[in-house]
Amino acid sequence: MGSETDRAVRRDALENRRRILEAAREAFAERGVDGTSMHRIGRAAGVGQGTLYRHFEHKGALCSALLSEEIEGFVQEMRRRTEGRGPALGRLKWFLGWVARFNEQNGPLLGAIRDASAGGRRVELYGNPFYERLKNTVLELLDEAVGGEEVSPDLDVECLSDTLLAALNIDLYLYQRHQLGMERERIVAAVRSVLEGLRVRE
Amino acid sequence: MGSETDRAVRRDALENRRRILEAAREAFAERGVDGTSMHRIGRAAGVGQGTLYRHFEHKGALCSALLSEEIEGFVQEMRRRTEGRGPALGRLKWFLGWVARFNEQNGPLLGAIRDASAGGRRVELYGNPFYERLKNTVLELLDEAVGGEEVSPDLDVECLSDTLLAALNIDLYLYQRHQLGMERERIVAAVRSVLEGLRVRE
DNA sequence: AGACTGCACGGACAAATGTCCGTTTGAGGA
DNA sequence: TCCTCAAACGGACATTTGTCCGTGCAGTCT
């Protein structure tokens, strides 16, 4: 099935990709994500539109790439704290706080990614590796909580994972933070109180 | 403060507005919302771009107007069922089901409205009369539930209103329905189980 | 009726996203 | 080293959203 001859990746292609990311990072820092057009990024990187879009099929994809470059350490901690021992519900509560901090630090990029998944790309918002990673983490912790009899086994954990994460979606988060003036801790506390409600009763 | 001379609304302006909405309705039905450009709507309605955008400042606004035209009866029922007597928590559960049915029937328009509130218009998604209406309804019912001692008075009902509605936001809803293949009742049940968890314990 | 006035009209224009396609070039084989 | 060719390049182009501004007309006032 695999192609017989796997030609090596051309050096110029690699170099261009690097330059695009670099140019984008700088331009975003200087003029904001929304204030930076794809044309400008191409020019700054010294590549044409075709090249730009060959590497990143749309602005959202470029932002995603930039995001994953910059969050390595962040994700490390997420895995460590999440896979540890102790009550799963507690770890889940911590994780939801982690998502909020993530929102906080990456609002503009996350917002741009959301904007890019419009129209025919609606699906990409949730059907992408990053969201699936988040969801799986919630799902596993919830499953563990069921196993440890912390929460009722009747719960639809699959569906609840989406529900919980929805409470921290970037649109709502930015609105609550900047329009309603809510503090991060307050938003997180509300989701946690929901989680607390799921706990089995004696 | 009101202007001294309130000139009547010009008849041609009213007529044009009507024609735009009519053209949009037809075009959307025929080619889908995403597949219909604003230029096309203008041409079909026989008005220029300036006129089109004077009446509706962007595609999302046009969709909103179309939406509110078509949901009168729907909203009537919402108010009736929501303002009745009985346990507030029960009415809130019904209301969340209502929101889901609303999503179901108006997916394309709601999706387009979401797409239009991107970039500098991020705020409009939540800071608009329609969402505020939904949120107030949830908020009032939650307050009532606190008053009736159905749920704990410690809950942050203001924040929880957003949290609950987020679970039914159009993006996630369409994803769960069409990508994950979940049934409407299942999605609603998950949110309702969250609500059930908030109930006071004895 | 006739003139005045300001809202409304319409289409050219600006800016952004994303596609197409003829041309170039780097990597591997002879 | 030279040849070959698939992959990569680049920029013109198509499409869409949204703005600007000179022109015209509906409604009002005399």
pLDDT at B4: 42
Q: Select the residue of A120, A156, A159 nearest B34 (Cβ to Cβ).
A: A120
Return the residue matching tokens 């009899």: A149
More confident residue, B177 or B85: B177
Instruction: Locate B9 and state its tokens.
Output: 């609304």
Task: In whole angstroms, give the CA distance from residue B108 to residue A179.
Answer: 27
The predicted-structure confidence for A73-101, as pLDDT tens digits, reads as follows 899 999 999 997 899 999 999 999 999 99
Task: In whole angstroms, give the CA distance from residue B40 to residue B28.
Answer: 11
Is the Cβ of B193 closer than 8 Å to some Cβ of chain A?
yes
Q: Select the residue of A118, A155, A186 nearest B193 (Cβ to Cβ).
A: A155
pLDDT at A170: 97
CB contact under 8 A, A174 and B115: no
CB contact under 8 A, A118 and B122: no
Cα first-last separation, chain B: 56
Task: In whole angstroms, give the CA distance from residue A35 to residue A29.
Answer: 10
Q: Are A63 and A33 in contact (CB under 8 A)?
A: yes
pLDDT at B6: 60
pLDDT at A1: 40
* pLDDT reading at A3 higher than 50: no
Q: Provide mean pLDDT across the span B48-53.
A: 96
Closest nt to residue B54, judged CA to C1': C8
Q: Provide mean pLDDT across the span B155-170.
A: 98
pLDDT at B10: 86
Q: Provide mean pLDDT across the span A24-43.
A: 98
Q: Provide mean pLDDT across the span A18-43.
A: 98
Closest nt to residue B50, judged CA to C1': C10
pLDDT-derived band at A8, boundaries 50, 70, 90? confident
Best probe of the A interface among B33, B121, B122, B178, by most A CBs < 10 A, is: B122
Measured CA B123 to C1' D23 distance, in angstroms: 36
B57 CB-to-strand D distance under 7 Å: yes
Handedness of CA B25, B30, B36, B38 (dihedral sign): negative
B159 CB-to-strand C distance under 7 Å: no
Indicate the length of chain A as a whole number: 202
Measured CA B169 to C1' C18 distance, in angstroms: 28
Please provide the average confidence, as pLDDT, over all residues in chain A: 94
* pLDDT reading at A2 higher than 80: no
Q: Provide mean pLDDT across the span A24-34.
A: 97
Please provide the average confidence, as pLDDT, over all residues in chain B: 94
pLDDT at A6: 67
pLDDT at B194: 98
pLDDT-derived band at B135, boundaries 50, 70, 90? very high
Neighbouring residues of A30: CB distance < 8 A, sequence distance ≥ 6: none
- Scan residues 102-141 of A and list those with Cβ closer than 8 Å to B: 111, 114-115, 118-120, 122-123, 125-127
pLDDT at A37: 98
Could you give the maximum distance between any two Cα atoms of chain B, in Å?
Answer: 66
pLDDT at A160: 98
A9 CB-to-strand D distance under 7 Å: yes
Measured CA A8 to C1' C30 distance, in angstroms: 19
Task: In whole angstroms, give the CA distance from residue A174 to residue A180.
Answer: 9
Q: Select the residue of A156, A159, A179 nearest B123 (Cβ to Cβ).
A: A179
User: Residues of A with CB below 8 A from B127's CB?
Assistant: 175, 179
Q: Which of B126, B118, B199, B56 is nearest to A117 (CA)?
A: B118
For residue B193, count other CB atoms closer than 10 A to its CB. 18
A12 CB-to-strand C distance under 7 Å: yes
Q: Are B78 and B86 in contact (CB under 8 A)?
A: no
- R_g of chain A computed on alpha carbons: 20
The predicted-structure confidence for B98-119, as pLDDT tens digits, reads as follows 999 999 999 999 999 999 999 9
Which residues pair with residue A199 across a beta bridge? A151
CB contact under 8 A, B156 and A115: no
Which residues pair with residue B199 across a beta bridge? B151
Size of interface A-B (CB pairs under 8 A): 111
pLDDT-derived band at A190, boundaries 50, 70, 90? very high
A151 phi and psi, to 5 degrees? -125, 165
Instruction: Locate B29 and state its tokens.
Output: 């039905």
Q: Provide mean pLDDT across the span A170-179.
A: 97
Q: Provide mean pLDDT across the span B86-91.
A: 96
State the smallest CA–CA distance between residue B5 and chain A in angstroms.
36
Structural domains in chain B plus CATH codes: 11-55 (1.10.10.60), 71-198 (1.10.357)
Burial B97-126 (b: 16+ CB within 10 A, else e): bbbbebbeebbbbbbbbbbbbbeeebebbb
Task: In whole angstroms, give the CA distance from residue A79 to residue A95.
Answer: 10
* pLDDT reading at A5 higher than 80: no
Q: Are B187 and A159 in contact (CB under 8 A)?
A: yes
Task: In whole angstroms, give the CA distance from residue B43 to residue A91.
Answer: 57
